[in-house]
Structure 1
């Protein structure tokens, strides 16, 4: 089987090259990226390269890939222009039965036969989406450059973001996360962790399942930037209907042909499902229970109706059929999420129109949804939902959580000048000291 093996360390997984940004004697920090915010490499078996007519990975023009070699896939600008069909087919996932370590059988969304995908490891893989290309597509670069200048020793624990939400992948990743953090800490002091967007979900889940004792030993504080754990109505529109640039806030546009094809590919990615509005930890809904996120001519769907929405959509829109199963798999994971039990800082955006409600023109979900209500936020998640989740978390006796609103959009929360100025101060405790002195 051509599994992704993105985080397993199995024999057929070959670590991506990386020139980690290192200050060996500097203070340490762990970085966890979000959706579409880490470069991905792919490997297609030589006999199944997209250049060969008649296979499953055909492309409209000769692709830029070297057969039988690992190649940059997300995002390779040349490939997006010349071989977009192959690009999206390689990134597509399909359901496969997997066994977890405890013997539980789950439905895993994994790579097609003959395909492997891995994250580009290290800080280089998240600083920009196209490492080593002449014209960079920056993601974390503003922050990582500043932390490097200040002497921080950074470690990025990267993962195949498409598959976050898949129980089998998550089980593998938690083991990788644990090993990397423990290796960085060694016999030394606990280290801070920064998560951005879906990376905040990753951090919260890993710390929840690793437990209070482990977390307090190895993690000094968490900085959660642009959380989407509470849910983003905007993402609902992206699932099976809108292009990746809509949901990921990417600083570039893909060719329209790519956007049309990538919609079907995105519908196989569990990561989208993890950002649907839902009860965090199975208990906390950061929205009014009767607030409709999706409106159809004869029905409305609230934050408590997302399973029903995906079930109905899957019956009527073929490309979304995997949605309901991905939701059920994610529910088994998300119910375990708790607020971090260490000092936590939540940075979130305000001042931007943010989709808060979608309206479909029909009950069959055939037409494109329109945003029919906006609220204040970072253009991806509403500020009110972040504040509601944080206030709920602050009720936990083990949680020491501080909110930091900034007038910054979602992407620039991790690399814009305001965040780049604030985050280093939070890492050292300087920001808290200044606030306490006021």
Structure 2
């Protein structure tokens, strides 16, 4: 299904002098669209019903997936060895097809639903819609859109750092000099944590009053071990990669090119293991992997061979892919595939992430911090792998969480931050899945509480750094639980 003659890009109607809330999405939580460059035709060789190619939603349009399930392949990134501007080894990312540009849908439309454009008026796949509607009558809402696949590419991270600074400083000007409220979901919480860590507490105090981290993936998730080695849909249908289960195409090799997936593997925060030094992945008869063992795990994945080359994982053997390669050889296709599976460069990508991003996930000083999480949904905490890590892992242990983020890891992160002087308040929602935390009724209460504090309608002295709000009782939203 085409989406029109031009890129989707919403322009927020911002009112001068009104306080601003900046929304930062996470992994797979912003729509992506693809456009051909220079008016080329035959985009992805997908049997278009139009002679002139037009932009289309590629993550995620139900109509596209049903009509052309192979459209997910255009989410693959071309990876090349590179060096960051501060001299660290990294991997640069670019579009996986020639003459094609894939990037986020900008503005609130990019995060309101996963399928913006005409399709969303019929079958909307809601994301931030409820929160945006809740805030809009009284506050300016701005989206900080970025290509979630590329978070972890250090060259791209440097670009985002400048973009983030400009976005926040513009928001402060619009608000008449008043600091903004930041809301980050999942990997978006890690993005915020990194940006504030780089900018430091002095800049933060001037520009940010409150930071709300919802289902934070700052410390990562154990389930990503299997999400990377076996494919996102092998682990989560509605968690790590929303809607992965409706895609007929197997996207393991595509997802292996995303630094963003590697960035949310389990990690130590400021050298502290919030997973209590427990093994998170077990390779039968070989070794265990802990939060600090992501690089060895990725190196081991690289050594494994796909023992089922004609099976469910190998899309290169599909009829469509063989036809496409033949057409490429005959110079009959303008958009040619240039990406390959990312396993050989995964350890290099992760090493750069651990050298630059993780050290800047510092306790966020300079603003109030509110953490929203759940501890009532069974969440995968330990996987058992075959000796061949590419074979589907088994689920060994579960812990309370939100089906993606383990609750105890969030609580230990908050405890660590409190020890460092961060003013942290925890809000525990009941029986809410990861992707729904940002839009549930409980979150609406939380954001009202936060905005009251930002407006000065609550005495900040009433907010104890040790207070914890829960979703199972009537609460005094401006103070500790009654």
TM-score, structure 2 length as denominator?
0.79
Give the superposition deviation at 1:207: 0.8
Indicate which of 119, 138, 152 corresponds to 2:126.
Answer: 138
CA contact (8 A) 1:36 1:248 kept: no
Match of 2:171 in 1: 184
Cα RMSD between the aligned structures?
2.5
CA distance in 2, matches of 1:331, 1:65: 45
1:370 corresponds in structure 2 to 394
Query: Per-residue CA shift, 1:316-375, capped at 9, x if unaligned?
Result: 147432321211121122122212111101111110000001111x21213201211100
Query: Corresponding residue for 1:386?
Result: 410
1:27 corresponds to:
19
How many residues are matched?
411
2:384 matched to which residue of 1?
Answer: 359
Task: Decide whether the 8 Å contact of 1:191 with 1:219 is kept in 2.
Answer: yes
Question: After the TM superposition, which residues 233-312 of structure 1 pair with which residues of structure 2 at under 5 Å, given as runs?
Answer: 233-244=222-233, 246=236, 249=239, 252=243, 254-255=245-246, 257-258=248-249, 260=250, 262-281=251-270, 283-312=271-300
Q: Distance in 2 between matches of 1:65 and 1:172?
A: 35
Give a deviation string over 1:84-111, Cα, whole Å, max 9, x none: 22x2232101212455445666321221
What is the deviation of 1:28?
1.1
Larger Rg: 2
Deviations 1:216-236 (A, max 9, x none): 111111011101111211121
d(CA) in 1 for partners of 2:279, 2:368: 32
Determine whether 1:419 maps to 2:443: yes
Q: Helix, strand or coil: the match of 1:173?
A: helix
Contact 1:230 1:277 in 2 (8 A): yes
Q: 1:280 to 1:409 in 2, by over 3 A?
A: same
The residue that corresponds to 1:339 in the other structure is: 363
State the match for 1:123 in structure 2.
108
Q: Would the aligned equivalents of 1:64 and 1:79 in 2 still touch at CA under 8 Å?
A: no
Give the distance between the partners of 1:306 and 1:196, measured in 2 at CA.
Answer: 23
Structure 1 202/71 Cα, relative in aligned 2: closer, same or farther at 3 Å?
A: same
* Alignment partners' CA distance in 2, 1:183 and 1:331: 30
CA shift, 1:146, in A, is 0.8
> Could you list the per-position Cα deviations for residues 115-139 of structure 1 after superposition, in whole angstroms to 9, with x for gaps in the alignment?
2222111112101011122211001
Q: 1:263 offset after TM fit, Å?
A: 1.4
| Mapped contact 2:229–2:390 kept (Cα < 8 A) | no
**Counterpart position of 2:99:** 114
Separation (CA, whole Å) in 1 of partners of 2:149 and 2:402: 22
SS at match of 1:89: helix
- Partner of residue 90 from structure 1, selected from 40, 51, 74: 74
1:217 is aligned, of 206, 215, 240, to 206
Given that residues 31 and 105 in structure 2 are in contact (C-alpha distance below 8 angstroms), is that contact kept between their aligned partners in structure 1?
yes
Name stretches of at least 5 consecutive residues in structure 1 with no aligned partner.
1-13, 52-56
TM-score norm. by structure 1 comes to 0.87
Query: Offset of 1:243 from its aligned partner?
Result: 3.5
The match for 1:208 is 197
Counterpart in the other structure of 2:428: 405
CA distance in 2 between counterparts of 1:110 and 1:121 reads: 18
- Rounded Cα–Cα distance in structure 1 between residues aligned with 2:202 and 2:158: 19
Cα separation, partners in 2 of 1:46 and 1:425, compared to 1, 3 Å: same
2:32 is equivalent to residue 40 of structure 1? yes
Cα distance, 1:253–1:242 mapped onto 2, change above 3 Å: closer
Secondary structure in 1 matching 2:379: strand
How far residue 215 of structure 1 moved from its aligned partner, in angstroms, is 0.9
Aligned position for 1:3: none
**Quick check: 1:434 aligned with 2:422?**
no
